[in-house]
Structure formats: C-alpha cells, structure tokens
Amino acid sequence: MSFGMTFGANTQVLRPREGGTVTLKGITRHGKNRINQHGNIWRVKEIRGMKMFLESQFKTEGPRDNKIFDCRWVEINNDPNFDWS
C-alpha cells in the first residue's frame, strides 16, 4: 500500500498517493456489491480535493469479450459506501 502519513495533535491521518493502491471495504449494500463485482484492491489514478479516482485491479466491466477496468470516485474521508485502507 502507498500512503502519505501526516501527524497532527494526537491524530494520524492516512492519505492515499496517486499511483498507489488502496483496499476498499463495502459499508453499504451498494458498496459491498461493487466489491463483489470488481474486487477490493483498487489503483489510485487521481486525487482531487478530498476525493480519489480509483480504477479496479482487474478488467471486470463490460461484455465478456471486451472487458474494461471499472472506475469510480471515492471520498477520502467519510465516504457513504466505502471504507479504505
């Protein structure tokens, strides 16, 4: 995993790095379904503000003979569907 760590007043904040990977965990039915479909390891393609743009580890989206990577935006803090590490 690839994280930058910032230490504040008695807190530790994990921040993903572009080009690194994160492990997603579904916390809602929607999130759990996406993990089931596309896996839990995702590449961080871009960070914009407090959101990260993720790409699935494997090609899982589309017709059987023409699969592509699934991509999605996930909030770095308090995403409604996913926890990450």
What pLDDT is recorded for position 12?
45
pLDDT for 15: 81
Tell me 15's DSSP state: E
Is a pLDDT exceeding 70 seen at residue 38?
A: yes
Q: State yes or no: pLDDT of 1 exceeds 50.
A: no
What span, in angstroms and rounded, lies between the C-alpha atoms of 6 and 39?
Answer: 28
Token pair 């921040």: residue:
15
pTM recorded for the entire structure: 0.80
Q: Where are the domains of the chain?
A: 3-7+20-84
Mean pLDDT of all residues belonging to the chain: 87
Tokens encoding 21: 């990977």
Does residue 21 have a pLDDT over 90?
Answer: yes
